[in-house]
Each structure stands twice: as structure tokens, then as C-alpha cells.
Amino acid sequence: MIEGRTLERIVETRDPAGTRALAGALAVAARPGDLISLVGELGAGKTQFAKGFGAGLGVTDTIVSPSFVLMAEYRGRLPLFHIDLYRLAGAAEALAGGLIDERQGEGVTLIEWAERLEDAMPAGRLDVLIEGTGDDPRRIVLRAGDVGYARYIEALPANWVAPAAEPTAEPATERAPEGSGR
């Protein structure tokens, strides 16, 4: 806690809809220039989080993982810049490729696989650490890098609970394709 503000909160979601609902609830706190780092294993739900956050910003386009194009831009209440560093080796490659630019100051930048930027990431950001894969519930740690990002944690009511799990007709027998995680 700094200045009486909570800088970390742990939330559990049970399915992709819950992860999207969490992200949508957080999007109400978004301001121009915000940076959100998404960290988790392949299939953890980083793209699902991006979809929910975009919906919370009023994005009506379909949000998909930009693994092959590296960055996708969407229009909503604020522009959303969705970056996926999965295919990059590290910070030097991302920065040399021009993925970070001045336009992002106008909107919110979500970076999947943000740990690949190592020490190039500013302290001022919201870290979203997603633990779990497959059909398991997700343990999501929201960590404000500084007091300015505490507003994201404060945007969730103290009693916030993810919506009930989506009903399934049959048990899942195949793994989800890459980028379709929670």
C-alpha cells in the first residue's frame, strides 16, 4: 500500500467469459497513455483479456491475437494498441521494429508477452499476471507499477466475482488453437 492505496489484487476467473468480464470492468479506469503488460503461459488467456478490455473501451471490431502482425490498433472510447511479442526474441528486436511509438500516448497499449521487453518497460504500468491454462480456473494478479495505476485495482468493487462459468455441451477433448486461450 502506498498513500493508502492498494497496488495489488488477486482475482480468480473460471472461464474465458470471466476473464473478459474482469478486463471489461478494468477498462473503465483507462486513460490515454496507459500501458498494460499481460504475462502468462501460452493459452493462459492474454488474448481473452485483450478482447474484454477492448469491449470495455467500446471496441466493436473482433480482437484477435496479433502474433503475426505484432500490433493491431482498434478504435473505441480510447484507441487500443494490442501488441503481441510472442515471436520476438527480446526488447532490442521489439524496439528496433518500431512497435512503441508516440501514437500510443493517445490510447491504451496492451502488450502480450511483455516480459520479453525486460527492463525496457517503464515502472508506470499495470501488470496482469495470469496463472493457469487449459480448463483450469485462472488466478489473475493485478499489480499497479505505481500509484497512478492503482485506479485499475480500485475500479473493481471489493466484492467483484467473475460471472458463472459458461455451460458446455460436451467435455473438451482437444486443446484450443494458439491465441484462443483464456
Domains for the chain: give ranges and CATH numbers. Answer: 14-155 (3.40.50.300)
Please state the pTM of the whole predicted model.
0.80
- Give the residue-averaged pLDDT of 154-171: 74
CA distance 128 to 144: 9
Cα dihedral 146, 148, 149, 151 sign: positive
Sort 13 into a burial class: Cβ within 10 Å, 0-12 / 13-18 / 19+. buried
Model confidence pLDDT, tens digit, residues 52-103: 999 999 999 888 876 656 778 899 999 999 888 876 655 555 555 555 655 5
Q: What is the pLDDT of residues 96-147, one digit of tens each?
A: 555 565 555 578 999 888 877 777 777 889 999 999 988 899 999 999 999 9
Distance CA 163, CA 180 (A): 19
DSSP conformational letter for 87 = T
Q: What is the mean pLDDT of residues 42-49?
A: 92
- pLDDT of 172 higher than 50: no
User: pLDDT grade, residue 33 (50/70/90)?
Assistant: very high
Cell numbers linked to 104: 500510443
